[in-house]
Amino acid sequence: MKNKSIAITTYLLFFNKIAAASEGMPQLNPEFWLSQILWLTGIFIILYFLVQKFFSPKLFSLIDARADFIKSLLKEAEIYKNQIQKIDNEYNLIIAEAKNESKKLSAKLKIDFNEKTSLKKKEFENILNSETQKAEQEINTFKKETLENIQSIAGEFSKELIEKITGTAPNSSNLNAVISEISNKEKKNQYV
């Protein structure tokens, strides 16, 4: 009884599907179901086998190798970065030292320059003073000589003039005494 009911149900289901297929759903036609399942199984197993055995390990090993390569490059880059940092620090230290040195040197040069300049100034002032003194002495000498010359010229000129006016030559010593007295008076008037 039970077997009979199962058989009827199966029959109805099967023929319902065939009926459905003939109505418009070819997918429900079980004619090629088994064939499709077998071909699907075969093709899928082959595909899966190829992917698992050949393609997948090849690409995975490559991806791993690339990751390792990138890791090693990053490590190398880190080392270079540290080296650069070290060199940069050293460079900064050298620059700072050089700046300090240059500051010290510039301060020292400034002091030296000031000292040398003041020394030169003093020397120059000394020279200038001595030269000025010399010049003053020369001027005084020249003045003195000029006055003496003026006195003798004035004596001679006065002698000639008196001789021409009076016709007699005056006494030279008296004339010189008068001229020196006048020139002394004039000197006094000039320096008062």
Partner 1 sequence: MATNPMHQFEVHRIGPSLSINGIDVSFTNSSLFMLISSILIITFFMIGTRKVNIIPNKIQLINEIVFNFISKMISETAGPKAKPYFPFILTIFLFILTLNMIGLLPYAFTVTSQIIITFFLAVVIFIGVTVVGFAKNGIGFLKIFAPSGVPIFLFPIIVAIEIISFLSRPVSLSVRLFANMLAGHTMLKVFGGFVVSLGIIGGWLPLSFSVALTALEILVAFLQAYVFAVLSCIYLNDALNMHH
Q: What is the DSSP string of 24-93?
A: T-GGG-GGGHHHHHHHHHHHHHHHHHHIIIIIHHHHHHHHHHHHHHHHHHHHHHHHHHHHHHHHHHHHHH
Return the number of the residue (7 or 51) whose C-beta is nearest partner 1. Answer: 51
Considering the complex, what minimum distance in angstroms separates the CB of residue 11 from partner 1?
Answer: 20
| Token pair in block for residue 140 | 């005084």
Return the number of the residue (76 or 156) whose C-beta is nearest partner 1. Answer: 76
Q: Around Cβ 179, how many Cβ atoms within 10 Å?
A: 19
Amino acid at 100: N
Reported for 144-150, long-range contacts at CB under 8 A and 24+ positions apart, including other chains, are: 147/183, 147/187, 150/183
- If phi > 0 it is left, if psi is from -120 to 50 it is alpha, else beta; for residue 86 that is alpha
Residue 169 DSSP symbol: P
Return the number of the residue (34 or 192) whose C-beta is nearest partner 1. Answer: 34
Q: Which residues bind partner 1 (CB under 8 A)?
A: 24-41, 43-44, 46-48, 50-52, 54-56, 58-60, 62-63, 65-66, 69
Cα 30 from Cα 14, distance rounded (Å): 8
Considering the complex, what minimum distance in angstroms separates the CB of residue 15 from partner 1?
Answer: 17
Return the number of the residue (53 or 104) whose C-beta is nearest partner 1. Answer: 53
Return the number of the residue (53 or 185) whose C-beta is nearest partner 1. Answer: 53
